[in-house]
Structure 1
Amino acid sequence: MLQKILNFELQPKYRLQLEFKKSGKTYRVITYVPDFLIYHFNTTEELIDVKGMITQQGEMRNKIFDYNYPGLKLDVWRKYDVGK
């Protein structure tokens, strides 16, 4: 079902893991940056990420995103599937 779009953002940034230190080494924050955040008139939000191909690292990042942000819908599109 098509929904009317109220607004959108390009490349919003979501933090997946905080920076931390272990054994004297500093590990940087891990972020996820999908391509679009779409705000619908019915107050729902939808994230769209367009990928050329799905990698193992990308799948892992998506799982961590889903765990940290269970209320947000993430759709990952492969470029060659768009328009089908």
Structure 2
Amino acid sequence: MSRMSVAQAKAKGYISEPKKHKYGAVKTIVDGIAFDSRKEAAKYQELKLLQRAGEIVELELQPEYVLQEAFVRDRKPIRAIVYRADFRAKYKDGRVVVMDTKGYRTKEYMLKKKMFLARYPDVEFVEC
């Protein structure tokens, strides 16, 4: 039995190229954490610097906010609508800021953002 080269294996479909992200984002790993994009990873590094400097007292990744509670209709359960931000930072002055890094704003994101702003008016929201 003869061996097959990588090019031959790719040609036969045994090896496939990694899928590219729909919007061109490149997964990036920082501090052992996988981020969906370079932009998100860079924002994380910026926030970590602010945390080390003492400006940020608490930093949370991927905080979740319930936009609409789950319910049952016609005996069918309907799942809750949840918004997952990229970061939540609590600053030393007491401010809580929710941050989302976006390269492209989808219709779903814009709708969830509106629901978030309506449901959590006291939380500062920033798009990075």
TM band (smaller chain): 0.7 to 0.9
1:54-74 deviation digits (Å, cap 9, x = unpaired): 011111100000111000011
1:28 to 79, 83, 89: 79
Tell me which structure has the larger Cα radius of gyration: 2
Within 5 Å, give how 1:10-29 maps onto structure 2. Answer: 10-29=61-80
CA distance in 2, matches of 1:24, 1:51: 37
Tell me the matched-pair count.
76
Return 5+ residue gaps in structure 2 as ranges: 1-54
> Match of 1:16, as an amino acid?
L
Paired amino acid for 1:13: E
Residue type of the partner of 2:89? I
Query: Pick from 53, 59, 63: which aligns with 2:114?
Result: 63
Counterpart of 2:56 in structure 1: which amino acid? I
* Residue identity in the other structure for 1:34: A
Secondary structure, in 3 states, of the residue corresponding to 1:51?
coil
Q: Say whether residues 1:38 and 2:89 are aligned partners.
A: yes
**Off by >4 Å, runs of 4+ in structure 1:** none
**Is 1:73 aligned with 2:73?**
no
Q: CA deviation at 1:24?
A: 2.6
TM-score by length of 2: 0.55
Going by fraction, where is strand more abundant, 1 or 2?
1
Calculate the aligned-residue CA RMSD, in Å: 1.8
Structure 1 stretches of 5 or more lacking a match?
78-84
Structure with the higher fraction of residues in helix conformation: 2
**What percent identity do the matched residue pairs reach?**
31
